[in-house]
Amino acid sequence: MKAIITGGAGFIGSYIAEELIKRGYRVVIIDNLSTGRLSNLELILGNKDADFIQGSITNLQLLRKVFSRADYVFHQAALPSVPRSIKNPRASHITNATGTLNVLMAARDNGVKKVVFASSSSVYGDTPTLPKVEDMVPNPQSPYAVTKLAAEYYCRVFERVYGLKTICLRYFNVYGPRQDPGSTYAAVIPLFISSVIMGKPPVIFGNGEQTRDFTYVKDVVEANILGAESNASGVFNIGSGVRVTINHLAELVIELAGGKMLKIAYRDARPGDVLHSLASITRAAAFGYRPKYKLKQGLQEVVNQFHKST
């Protein structure tokens, strides 16, 4: 079986690549390295079943060539981050919306069996109802969320009009080793952990009572492969089904990363940030998704990785 992973040098994509190779797939990774890193692929570069192509999903000609004889496409490539999209909405649109259209066209033209699209819980916006259920009316609050929703609609239309099987996985706050804490738009967990290890307080935007559903990266990998290999199509939440406050998250990180003398620092809330988030994962259970990692266990894995790399 041949699998394409767009954004395969990124945080999530690199884990998908490793797992597919373990399961006997031939893997082709496409990444322009704007946010991905070759160091994420150090365990598989040189493997006879892995190929790396430096290129962009904005290049339709390249995709049409690379997707030849592919069984599945795991479409992870994106310009992530709500703040980044607010700063530069056009760049987010070109990569996340137009780029996804290119992926779908190339997959259709090559007879790909299925495209697995990495969507986002941000499409729900700030609707107060919890947990978030897939048939809720979307209410995106940022350009990033709009691009993900537009891409979902493209997936739905390509299945209906062209018969290309698609599945859209709405990720809820994915975390794990390899997330880059050095980026201006880094996710909260690597930021908190790197701060505490360096003896600095974790910084929370807002009062810290906002809640999130954090999902360990290896659970997300399992969801991707189950989603590809099953008959499931449509939209599915991929979360842990448990929510925690950002204050509690910071306290856990302080405990695990050895910063017990540190106090949390608070800053003004940021525009576009959602207050509360929690996934209903009942629908994804129908194709076999069951998260295995508890938050404290996953955080310990990330802390261990930070200690190894410093």
Q: Quick check: 214 and 249 in contact, CB under 8 A?
A: yes
pLDDT of 184 reads 67
- Per-residue pLDDT tens for 86-132? 999 999 999 999 999 999 999 999 999 999 999 999 999 988 899 99
Angle at the Cα of 218 (from 230 to 146), degrees rounded to 5? 75
Residue 135 has pLDDT above 70, yes or no: yes
- Per-residue pLDDT tens for 214-227? 999 999 999 999 99
What is the rounded distance in angstroms from the CA atom of residue 285 to the CA atom of residue 308? Answer: 35
b/e 115-131 (16+ beta carbons within 10 angstroms → b)? bbbbbbbbbbbeeeeeb
Residue 186 has pLDDT above 80, yes or no: no
What is the rounded distance in angstroms from the CA atom of residue 16 to the CA atom of residue 9? Answer: 10
What is the rounded distance in angstroms from the CA atom of residue 78 to the CA atom of residue 245? Answer: 27
What is the rounded distance in angstroms from the CA atom of residue 13 to the CA atom of residue 204? Answer: 28
Report the mean per-residue pLDDT for the chain: 95
Residue 137 has pLDDT above 90, yes or no: yes
The structure tokens 């537009």 sit at 150
pLDDT of 198 reads 92
pLDDT of 295 reads 97
- Per-residue pLDDT tens for 143-176? 999 999 999 999 999 999 999 999 999 999 999 9
Assigned token pair, 27: 């893997």
Lowest mean pLDDT, pick from 7-11, 72-76, 269-273, 302-306: 269-273
**Active-site residue among 72, 124, 144, 154?**
144
pLDDT of 259 reads 78
Domains annotated for the chain, with CATH where assigned, are 2-175+214-239 (3.40.50.720)
pLDDT tier at 274 (50, 70, 90 boundaries)? Answer: confident
- Per-residue pLDDT tens for 41-51? 999 999 999 99
- Give SS3 for 88: coil
Is 144 an active-site residue?
A: yes
Sign of the alpha-carbon torsion through 280, 153, 93, 177: positive
pLDDT of 82 reads 87
Helix (H) / strand (E) element for 50: namely strand 50-54
pLDDT of 185 reads 66
DSSP 67: T
Residue 307 has pLDDT above 90, yes or no: no
